[in-house]
Structure 1
Amino acid sequence: MPTEPKPKPDRITGIRHLFAAAGYSVAGIRRLWGETAFRHEALGLPVIAVLFWASAAPLWAYGVFLILWFVLIAVEALNTAIEVMVDHISPHWSEAARDAKDLGSLAVMALLWANGVFVAYVLLCAFYG
């Protein structure tokens, strides 16, 4: 038996909105933690930090990598949101659903490559520069 749709909650404003927004972000992190790809990307942060430390990478390299990593996590979150919405809207296979998921995956892969190229550059400079 189908359930009745829930009414839309009242809009939160003022200072309460800041706390609510923080709660939404924490819920998003919890949801994203369920994704294997995110857990692998999260593991990359300490692994690369150790590699940079072992290679005596300059401080600016840590900063640039941290920015690239945060952008990767943001795009991974958006990709997961696309997948969730596509699965909700189009529960059966469709070409449009496949394309939306593939394009989200491409965005994540592009940032993985950007991170990898940067890390390789830093490590090559550290050992051969």
Structure 2
Amino acid sequence: MSDPAPVNPQAARTGLRRIWHAALISIDGYRAGWREPAFRQEVLCAVVMLPAAFWVGRSWIEVALLIATVMLVLIVELLNSGIEAAIDRIGPEWHSFSKDAKDMGSAAVLLSIVLCGGVWAAALWQRFVP
């Protein structure tokens, strides 16, 4: 008797084929994120902030930190959108656990934005205030 086909065909792939399919799945994730208005707004900010990091930062460490905080906001927003999608998949009815999960995801996004803003404010202060 042969083994049944795996539920997840990705698990059976190896080598470059696995990497290629994982990249395609990630691109689908970016597309799903792009459908979220908050993610689009944050990407537009990143388009401005990432090149600006090379001008604001005085050393490669500062540039890396400025870029990392912007990327962290995008990462946390994608994770928050994933949590919200999973909760919405469960059902439309209100439940306190669902509300808590969505609220905590939103709080994580807010914290990442506050962190990013603080790091950028400190870097701008250091660069432009004598």
CA distance in 2, matches of 1:73, 1:52: 16
1:62 corresponds to 2:63: yes
Kept after mapping to 2: 8 A contact 1:52/1:123: no
Which deviations, in whole Å up to 9, do the C-alpha atoms of 1:63-116 show, x marking residues without a partner?
111112222211111111100010111321111111110000000100000000
CA distance in 1, matches of 2:53, 2:7: 48
Runs of at least 5 residues in structure 1 that lack an aligned partner in the other structure: 1-6
CA distance in 2, matches of 1:51, 1:13: 40
Aligned to 1:78: 79
User: How many residues are aligned here?
Assistant: 122
The runs of at least 4 aligned residues of structure 1 exceeding 6 Å deviation read: none
TM-score, with normalisation over the residues of structure 2?
0.82
Kept after mapping to 1: 8 A contact 2:57/2:66: no
CA distance in 2, matches of 1:39, 1:114: 19
Aligned to 2:30: 29
RMSD of equivalent CA atoms = 2.0
Structure 1, 76-85 or 89-98: larger mean CA deviation: 89-98
Corresponding letter in the other structure for 2:57: A
CA distance in 1, matches of 2:50, 2:77: 20
Percent of residue pairs identical? 30
